[in-house]
Homo-oligomer: A and B are copies of this chain.
């Protein structure tokens, strides 16, 4: 049974802190294995990647067959139903439209000292996208990672996806094609991350790697960080629903279950102003679990990490939500905008009862790669900015240098950095001050 809490109970604070700090994931320590795999790929390149793929994915590749061909992608596309293809296209279009609005602006201005200052944004040249194989091979993840990269202007987007026993996922390949992925390699695991980071004869290195993966992939991303950029290391998914009594308990139950079905470590929390409504949602979850296809996953998630919290008012709900800093936050209340204004930490907010979180996973437009494990306190979901970087610009005139240079000399001296100061002094001397 999930935890049931009430802020009016004397032990609430203790119980809530326990809920906040519950460790939901035991990451196996695979770092030593991953270090060996990376070293192997760095020294033997393609040969190492091919050997490791034979071992883990049970397929025999050559340098010529590492890459999935245009013909294979066309064949995959032909296997996708027109309805599925249309849904993918609509999703891609909406995700692209949302992310195009994130393109940042350059700036340049001249200040009162005569200094021209500003910045300029440029795209990362080459990015790598990791896509898991097997059960967690989601076409929607391909769209969510690849489209922001292409909107940013990434010239070369290389995707890796393991194909255990040689089985390709047609929807994943179609999503890659729709998103504008430039190269796809049928490899996975730490070896794929190493190949993207360091390059092999067949796979040119990239500058940044994004995308979800298992413990090996996460450990490999941590290890290559610095050599290349990486996105966040994602943890298990979470949802927090704040709902008043004026909701259908079954809708809220399904919203909670749509996180719980991802992973036994996923967490679904309901905060409600009405204890009876909370109980009704609890019953609806149990009822839905009876027939849910993934009840073997969603059941344990709800049992071990689910929670129903009763609060006296929405202000208390917002305060608790800010302590949780949820990845996904649904506001199923009469005035969601007013409640949203009180939220300071959340990855994504879904406003009103007509906005189930699943809309955001697929088709809404915002990105579904979001900060987990309370990291919405300090980080954001994936965006176009993750595939760009900013170069700052400064240009002094002789007059500007005369105006502000002496302060630079002064500070350089105070930090005992003489050459810093002299580089200004030499120029000011030429101007005879």
Q: Which residues of A contact B (CB under 8 A)?
A: 83-84, 86-88, 90-91, 94, 97-98, 101-102, 107, 109, 111, 113, 115-117, 119-120, 122, 124-125, 135, 138-140, 171, 207-208, 226, 228-229, 233, 248, 250-251, 254-255, 257-258, 260-262, 288, 292-294, 298, 336, 340, 343-367, 370-371, 373, 375-381, 383, 385, 389-398, 400-401, 404-408, 410-412, 414-424, 426-427, 430
* B226→A233 contact, CB < 8 A: yes
Taken together, the copies of this chain in the complex come to 2
Contacts of A422 in B (CB 8 A): 254, 257-258, 288
* B354→A411 contact, CB < 8 A: no
* B367→A392 contact, CB < 8 A: yes
* B418→A294 contact, CB < 8 A: yes
Contacts of A348 in B (CB 8 A): 391-394
Instruction: Using A355-B394, A358-B424 as known contacts, list a sample of 17 further A-B pairs with CB atoms less than 8 Å apart, ordered by residue number in A.
Output: A94-B111, A102-B119, A115-B364, A117-B364, A125-B377, A171-B414, A229-B377, A251-B426, A294-B416, A346-B391, A349-B392, A354-B396, A354-B427, A356-B424, A361-B417, A364-B394, A385-B385
Choose from B261, B358, B408, B430 the contact partner of A358 (Cβ within 8 Å): B408
In the complex, residue of chain B having the shortest beta-carbon distance to the beta carbon of A94: B404
Contacts of A357 in B (CB 8 A): 423
Cα A363 to Cα B404 in complex, Å, equals 7
Choose from B354, B381, B404, B421 the contact partner of A398 (Cβ within 8 Å): B354
* B379→A420 contact, CB < 8 A: no
Contacts of A83 in B (CB 8 A): 410
* B364→A293 contact, CB < 8 A: no
Choose from B115, B125, B356, B419 the contact partner of A427 (Cβ within 8 Å): B356
* A378→B389 contact, CB < 8 A: yes
* B361→A408 contact, CB < 8 A: yes
* B115→A419 contact, CB < 8 A: no
Cα A336 to Cα B293 in complex, Å, equals 63
* A394→B366 contact, CB < 8 A: yes
Contacts of A418 in B (CB 8 A): 261, 292-294
In the complex, residue of chain B having the shortest beta-carbon distance to the beta carbon of A355: B396
In the complex, residue of chain B having the shortest beta-carbon distance to the beta carbon of A347: B391
Which has the most chain B C-beta neighbours within 10 Å: A251, A350, A383, A393?
Answer: A393
Contacts of A120 in B (CB 8 A): 340
Choose from B347, B397, B420 the contact partner of A261 (Cβ within 8 Å): B420
Cα A410 to Cα B171 in complex, Å, equals 12
Report 20 cross-chain contacts, Cβ distance below 8 Å, ordered by A residue.
A83-B410, A84-B414, A87-B406, A87-B410, A91-B407, A97-B111, A122-B345, A139-B411, A139-B414, A229-B378, A254-B426, A255-B423, A336-B395, A349-B393, A354-B395, A358-B408, A359-B394, A363-B408, A376-B391, A381-B390
